[in-house]
Amino acid sequence: MKLYCLSGHPTLPCNVLKFKSTTIMLDCGLDTTSVLNFLPLPLVHSPRLSKLPGWISKDGTINLEKVLDARELLDLSTIDVILISNYHCMMALPYITEHTGFTGTVYATEPTLQIGRLLMEEVVNFMERVPKAQSATCWKNKEIQRMLPGPLKDAVDVWTWKRCYSMQEVNSALSKVQLVGYSQKVELFGAVQVSPLSSGYSLGSSNWIIQSHHEKVSYVSGSSLLTTHPQPMDQSSLKNSDVLILTGLTQMPTANPDGMLGEFCSNLAMTIRAGGNVLVPCYSSGVIYDLLECLYQFIESASLGTTPFYFISPVANSSLEFSQIFAEWLCHNKQTKVYLPEPPFPHAELIQTNKLKHYPSIHGDFSSEFRQPCVVFTGHPSLRFGDVVHFMELWGKSSLNTIIFTEPDFSYLDALAPYQPLAMKCVYCPIDTRLNFHQVSKLLKEVQPLHVVCPEQYTQPPLTQSHRSDLMLELQPPPMPYRRCSVLNLPFRRRYERVYILPELANSLVPSEIKPGVSVATVSAVVHSKDNKHTLQSVPKPPPVAPSKKRKRVMDEPPVVLAPKPLLSGAVPLEAFLATLQKHGITEVKVEETADGHILHLQAEDTLIQLEEDGTHIVCDNNEPLRTTLRDLVLRFLQKL
Amino acid sequence: MDRECVSLLPRVCEVLAASGSSLPDDTSLEKLLDWFTGLTKAGTSLLESCPCLLEFISTVVHNTALDPSILSFTLRLTGFVAVTEVAFKVLQESSVLDLVFNLQHWQEAGLWEDPCIRIGWIQGLRTMMQHPKALSFFVQADFLQPLLQLQTDKSLFVASAANQMLAHVLLSCQSVSSVGSNDVDEEGEDVGRSGGSIADLEYSAVTVETNQDYAAVVTAISECLKKSLVPRENTQLHQSLQILKLLALLLAQTRPPLWEKLLQMVADSVDELLVAGYSQLILPLMDVILAAYSCDVNRRAPDQRVSRLLSFMLNIRKPADLIQAAAAFLRRGLHDLVHTAQSARVLLLPLDIITGLNLLTTTADEQRFLMMEQLKNKTSCISLICVCLTNTPQMTLMAADCLPCPPVLIVTAVLSLLKLCSGDSSSPSSSSSGCREVSRNVIGSSKVQKCALDALTALSGSPGVEVKLAEVFTLLVQCLDNPDSDPTVLQKSFQALVQWMSVCSDLSSITDQHRQDLLQVVRKRSCDIRWEVRDSTVEFLGRLAGVRVIQTTAEEASDASVAVLGGCCFTTPLLRAALQDTESYVRASAISALAQTLAASWQQGAALTQEQTEIVNQLLEVLSWDTEGFARRAVVRYFIAWLSSMSSHSCVQSPASSSLLMPSVRSVLSRGSADLDWEVKVHTLELAELLLDEAFSGQRGYTKGNPTQTHPYAVIPNTLHTRTHNEEDVVGVLNSLVQWGVVSALLSGLVDCDRPVALRACRLLITLREVVCPLSLGALDATAAMATVARVTCELPGCGWAREIRKMLVMKAKDANAEGGVSGGEVVNCDDCGEAGQEAASVGGQTPCVSVCEVLRSLDLDERLDVLTRSSDHVHNSPLSLLQDILTASSARSQPDTQQEVIADCY
The pLDDT, as a whole number, for residue B823 is: 42
Which pTM value belongs to this model?
A: 0.80
Query: Domain B465-553: which CATH class?
Result: mainly alpha
d(CA B501, CA A6): 58
- Which of A627 and B698 is assigned the larger pLDDT? A627
Query: Please, which pLDDT band fits residue B331 given cuts at 50, 70 and 90?
Result: confident
Q: Is the pLDDT of residue B686 over 80?
A: yes
Q: Among B381, B437, B529, pick the best mutation site for testing chain A contact (most A Cβ within 10 A).
A: B529
- DSSP lists the bridge partners of residue A162 as A64
Average pLDDT value for residue range B128-132: 84
Strand bridging mode B558-559 / B793-795: unpaired
Which residue in the set A256, A265, A468 is minimally distant from B484, CB to CB?
A256
Q: What is the pLDDT of residue B716?
A: 47
d(CA A107, CA A237): 19
Residue of chain A whose Cα is closest to the Cα of B441:
A470
Per-residue pLDDT of A200-256, as tens digits, reads 999 999 999 999 888 899 999 999 999 889 999 999 999 999 999 999 999 999 889
The answer to whether A275 touches A335, Cβ cutoff 8 Å, is no
DSSP string for residues in B50-114: -THHHHHHHHHHH-TTS-HHHHHHHHHHHHHHTTSHHHHHHHHHTTHHHHHT-HHHHHHTT-TTS
* B465-553 and B579-772, same CATH topology: yes
ipTM above 0.90?
Answer: no
Helix axes of B85-93 and B52-62: crossing angle, nearest 10 degrees? 50
Contact A214, A494 (CB under 8 A): yes
Considering only the beta carbons, identify the residue of A262, A300, A467 that sits closest to B430: A467
The CA distance from A301 to A297, in Å, is 8
Per-residue pLDDT tens over the stretch A91-123 = 999 989 988 889 999 999 999 999 999 999 999
Distance from CA of A263 to the nearest CA of B (A): 6
Separation in Å, CA of B687 to nearest CA in chain A: 32
Q: Which of A254, A258, A266 to mutate to test the interface with B (most CBs of B within 10 A)?
A: A266
- Which stretch of B124-138, B219-233, B689-703, B778-792 has the lowest confidence by average pLDDT? B778-792
Q: How far apart are CA B670 and CA B801, in angstroms?
A: 12
- pLDDT at B357 exceeding the cut of 90: no
Q: How far apart are CA B184 and CA A415, in angstroms?
A: 89
The full 3-state SS of A508-554, as one line of letters, equals CCCCEEEECCEEECCCCCEEEEECCEEEEECCCCCCCCCCCHHHCCH
Does residue B897 or residue B216 have the better pLDDT?
B216
Specify the pLDDT at position B185. Answer: 40
CA nearest to B795, candidates B840, B825, B746, B763: B840
Closest by CA to A19, choosing from A43, A39, A2, is A2
pLDDT exceeds 50 at position B907? no
Cα distances from B598 to residues A266, B521, B530, B567, B592, in angstroms, run 27, 22, 27, 10, 10
What CATH class does B579-772 carry? mainly alpha
CB count, 10 Å around CB of B621? 12
Task: Mark yes or no for CB contact A262/B525 under 8 Å.
Answer: no
**Which of the 8 DSSP states describes residue B22?**
G
Better pLDDT: B1 or B217: B217
Query: Minimal Cα distance from A263: which residue of B?
Result: B483
The answer to whether B425 contacts A256, with C-beta atoms less than 8 Å apart, is no
Q: What is the C-alpha separation between B447 and A429, in angstroms, rounded?
A: 25
- pLDDT tens across B406-464, in order? 889 999 999 999 999 988 765 554 455 567 788 888 988 999 999 999 999 999 988 88
In the predicted model, what is the mean pLDDT of chain B?
79
Q: Does residue B558 sit in helix, strand or coil?
A: strand
Query: What's the pLDDT score for residue B650?
Result: 45
- Compute the average pLDDT of residues B762-781: 77
CB contact under 8 A, A303 and B482: no
Cβ atoms of residues B8 and B880 within 8 Å: yes
Name every chain B residue with its beta carbon within 8 A of the beta carbon of A258: 484
Length of chain A: 641
Question: What is the least distance, in Å, from the CA of B494 to any CA of chain A?
Answer: 18
Residue A383 Rama label (left phi>0; alpha psi -120 to 50; beta): left
Of A572, A562, A564, A571, the C-alpha closest to A510 is A564
Interface touch A468/B528, C-beta < 8 Å? no
B425 vs A259, A303, A467: nearest CB: A467
- Give contacts of A470 with chain B, Cβ < 8 Å: 440, 443
3-state secondary structure of B667: helix
Using 50, 70 and 90 to split pLDDT, how confident is the model at B17? confident
Cβ-defined contact of B483 to A429 (cutoff 8 Å) = yes
**Positions in chain A short of pLDDT 70:** 50-72, 131-140, 148-160, 493-494, 543-564
Q: Measuring CA to CA, which residue among A291, A289, A288, A285 is closest to residue A265? A: A291
- The tens digit of pLDDT for each residue in B27-86 reads 888 888 888 888 888 877 777 778 888 888 888 888 878 888 888 888 888 888 888 888
| B133 and B84 Cβ atoms separated by less than 8 Å | no
Which of B378, B527, B537 should one mutate to test binding to chain A, selecting the residue with the greatest count of A CBs within 10 A? B527
Predicted pLDDT of residue B840: 44
User: Which of A405, A463, A467, A471 best probes binding to B when mutated, by most B CB atoms within 10 angstroms?
Assistant: A467
Beta bridge partners of A216: A211
User: Which range, of A432-436, B510-514, B521-525, averages the lowest pLDDT?
Assistant: B510-514
CB contact at 8 A, A58 and A68: no
pLDDT category of residue B708 using cuts at 50, 70 and 90: very low
Q: Which pLDDT tens digit goes with each residue over B384-400? A: 999 999 988 888 777 77
Q: What are the residues of chain B with a beta carbon less than 8 Å away from any beta carbon of chain A?
A: 423, 425, 430, 436-437, 440, 443, 482-485, 523-525, 527-531, 577, 580-583
The predicted model gives B740-764 an average pLDDT of: 89
Give pLDDT, residue B720.
Answer: 40
CB-side exposure of A2: number of CA atoms within 13 Å?
12
pLDDT, position A563: 65
Residues in chain B: 907
* pLDDT over 90 (residue B16): no
The answer on pLDDT for B497 being more than 90 is yes
**B558-559 and A177-179: which strand pairing?**
unpaired
Domain map of chain B by residue range?
A: 165-300, 314-456, 465-553, 579-772, 790-858
Overall average pLDDT of the B187-212 stretch: 46
- Which residues of chain B are within 8 Å of residue A302 when distances are taken between CB atoms? 527
Contact A470 B440 (CB under 8 A): yes
Nearest to B533 by CA among B593, B472, B579, B485: B485
Task: Give the closest of A263, A269, A470 to B443, CB-based.
Answer: A470
Please state, in angstroms and rounded to a whole number, the distance separating the CA atoms of residues A295 and A287. Answer: 12
Rounded Cα distance, B163 and B240, in Å: 12
Q: Using an 8 Å CB-CB cutoff, list chain A residues near B423.
A: 254, 465, 468
What are the tens digits of pLDDT across the range A350-390? 999 999 999 999 988 998 999 999 999 998 999 988 999 99
Which pLDDT score is estimated for A558?
55
